[in-house]
């Protein structure tokens, strides 16, 4: 079954704790935490302290999407905060293999992330080393953007590569995901759908999660 990872970037930050517990009750599979440093992407959001704050409130896996210039500097802090999965952008990390190994050595699952214009071939050499590959379906930095359909080709290519090589890697998609675009991503081979606005900006989160899951 397709997993749903609501992004807390779309939450009311003054009620973050309640938001996380409500998402768990509404049927979320993972909690997606968007970390932005003001360099890799223009906005600054939050860091490991946010994970530390929400960790005691949920038993769901905490899925951290690092949009930072130096992901390797963040590994220890997120491990100590209780993150389950740490994903790094291929565009931000020259020493991708080393950083993936360091994340796994720290006891977390490791993910690699591709921007919409980055060829899928760039992550193929490390796919046997990771637990997850995240295809961005918008340019990173902001919630509430429009889904970029050309990314579906990358999702299908990743699906084919993973199946052909019989790898245990989940394909996650992130950005502009709603009921319609979520269906296209599932059909292209995605396993995990991140959705911010399409869940948190509605009045019935459980219904939104059910419908996006399909």
User: Does 176 help bind ligand 5SP (rule: CB under 6 A)?
Assistant: yes
- Interface positions, 76-115, toward ligand 5SP (CB under 6 A): none
Residue 87 has φ and ψ, to the nearest 5°, of: -115, 135
DSSP code, position 40: S
Which of 29, 34, 63, 191 is catalytic? The answer is 34
Length of the chain: 214
Alpha-carbon distance values, 185 to 123, 141, 142, 160 (Å): 19, 20, 20, 14
Residue nearest to ligand 5SP (CB): 196
CA distance 56 to 53: 7
Task: Residue 10: name its binding partner from ligand 5SP, Co ion, none (Cβ under 5 to 8 Å by kind).
Answer: ligand 5SP
Which of 29, 63, 131, 174 is catalytic? The answer is 174
Residue given tokens 């906005």 in the structure block = 43
39 belongs to an annotated ligand binding site: no
CA distance 86 to 73: 12
Task: Residue 46: name its binding partner from ligand 5SP, Co ion, none (Cβ under 5 to 8 Å by kind).
Answer: none
Q: Which is nearer to ligand 5SP, 145 or 202 (CB)?
A: 145
Nearest Cα to 143, choosing from 87, 212, 200?
200
CB of 160 to ligand 5SP, least distance (A): 25
144 belongs to an annotated ligand binding site: yes
176 belongs to an annotated ligand binding site: yes
Which residues of this protein are in contact with ligand 5SP, per CB under 6 A? 7, 9-10, 32, 34, 65, 67, 138, 140-145, 174-177, 194-198
């Amino acid at each position: 079954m397709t997993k749903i990872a609501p992004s807390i970037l779309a939450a009311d930050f003054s009620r973050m704790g309640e938001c996380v517990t409500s998402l768990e009750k509404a049927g979320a599979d993972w909690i997606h935490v968007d970390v932005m440093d003001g360099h890799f992407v223009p906005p600054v959001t939050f860091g490991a302290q946010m994970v530390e704050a929400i960790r005691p409130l949920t038993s769901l896996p905490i899925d951290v999407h690092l949009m930072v210039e130096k992901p390797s500097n963040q590994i220890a802090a997120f491990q100590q905060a209780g993150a389950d999965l740490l994903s790094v952008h291929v565009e931000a990390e020259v020493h991708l293999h080393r950083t993936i190994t360091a994340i796994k050595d720290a006891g977390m699952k490791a993910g690699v992330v591709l921007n919409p214009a980055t060829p899928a071939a760039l992550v193929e050499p490390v796919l046997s080393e990771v637990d997850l590959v995240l295809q961005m379906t918008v340019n990173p930095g902001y919630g509430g953007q429009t889904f970029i359909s050309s990314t579906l080709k990358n999702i299908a290519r990743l699906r084919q590569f993973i199946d052909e090589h019989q790898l245990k890697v989940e394909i996650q998609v992130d950005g502009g995901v709603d009921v319609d675009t979520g269906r296209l991503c599932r059909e292209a081979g995605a396993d995990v759908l991140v959705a911010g606005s399409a869940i948190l900006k509605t009045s019935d989160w459980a219904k939104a999660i059910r419908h996006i899951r399909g």
